[in-house]
A = this chain, B = another copy of it.
Amino acid sequence: MNAPESNPAYVIAQKARFDAPIRLKGGAELPSFEIAYETYGELNAAKSNAVLVCHALNASHHVAGVYEDDKENVGWWDNLVGPGKPLDTRRFFVVGSNYLGSCFGSTGPASINPASGRPWGAEFPVVTVEDWVEAQARLADRLGIERFAAVIGGSLGAMQALQWALSYPERIRHSIVIAAAARLSPQNIAFNEVARQAIMTDPDFHGGHYYDKGVVPTRGLRIARMIGHITYLSGEAMAEKFGRLLRRGAPGFDFDIDFEIESYLRYQGDKFSTYFDANTYLRITKALDYFDPAADFGGDLTKALARARAAFLVVSFKSDWRFPPARSRELVRALLDNRRIVSYLELDAPGGHDAFLLEDERYHAALRAYLGNIEL
**Chain B residues whose C-beta falls within 8 Å of the C-beta of A251 in the assembled complex:** 26, 290
Cβ contact within 8 Å between B193 and A261 = yes
**Chain B residues whose C-beta falls within 8 Å of the C-beta of A259 in the assembled complex:** 186, 189, 193, 289
Q: How far is the CA of A266 from the CA of B295 in the complex (A)?
A: 24
**Chain B residues whose C-beta falls within 8 Å of the C-beta of A260 in the assembled complex:** 186
**Chain B residues whose C-beta falls within 8 Å of the C-beta of A190 in the assembled complex:** 226, 229-230, 238, 261-262, 265
Q: Which of A42-50, A69-77, A147-155, A197-205 contacts B (4 or more CB under 8 A)?
A: A197-205
Q: How far is the CA of A197 from the CA of B265 in the complex (A)?
A: 10
Q: How far is the CB of A122 from chain B (nearest CB, A)?
A: 9
Pick the residue among B197, B203, B243, B289 that contacts A269 (CB under 8 A).
B197
**Chain B residues whose C-beta falls within 8 Å of the C-beta of A374 in the assembled complex:** none
Which B residue sits closest to A259, measured CB to CB? B189
Cβ contact within 8 Å between A201 and B227 = no
Q: How far is the CA of A198 from the CA of B235 in the complex (A)?
A: 21
Which residues from 236 to 267 on chain A have a C-beta closer than 8 Å to any C-beta of chain B? 238-239, 241-244, 251, 253-255, 258-262, 265-266
Cβ contact within 8 Å between B253 and A125 = yes
Which residues from 282 to 339 on chain A have a C-beta closer than 8 Å to any C-beta of chain B? 282, 286, 289-290, 292, 295
Which B residue sits closest to A196, measured CB to CB? B255
Q: How far is the CB of A111 from chain B (nearest CB, A)?
A: 19
**Chain B residues whose C-beta falls within 8 Å of the C-beta of A27 in the assembled complex:** 253
Q: Is A194 an interface residue (CB 8 A)?
A: yes
Which residues from 158 to 200 on chain A have a C-beta closer than 8 Å to any C-beta of chain B? 183-187, 189-191, 193-194, 196-198, 200
Q: Is A364 an interface residue (CB 8 A)?
A: no
Q: How far is the CB of A71 from chain B (nearest CB, A)?
A: 33
Which residues from 98 to 154 on chain A have a C-beta closer than 8 Å to any C-beta of chain B? 125-126
Q: How far is the CA of A229 from the CA of B259 in the complex (A)?
A: 23
The 6 closest A-B pairs by CB, nearest first: A26-B253, A187-B235, A186-B261, A201-B219, A126-B253, A186-B238
Apart from A187-B238, A193-B259, list 8 A-B contacts with CB within 8 A: A28-B253, A126-B253, A186-B235, A186-B260, A187-B261, A193-B265, A196-B255, A198-B198
Can you list 9 A-B contacts with CB-CB less than 8 angstroms, sorted by A residue number? A27-B253, A187-B238, A189-B259, A190-B265, A197-B223, A197-B226, A197-B266, A223-B223, A258-B290
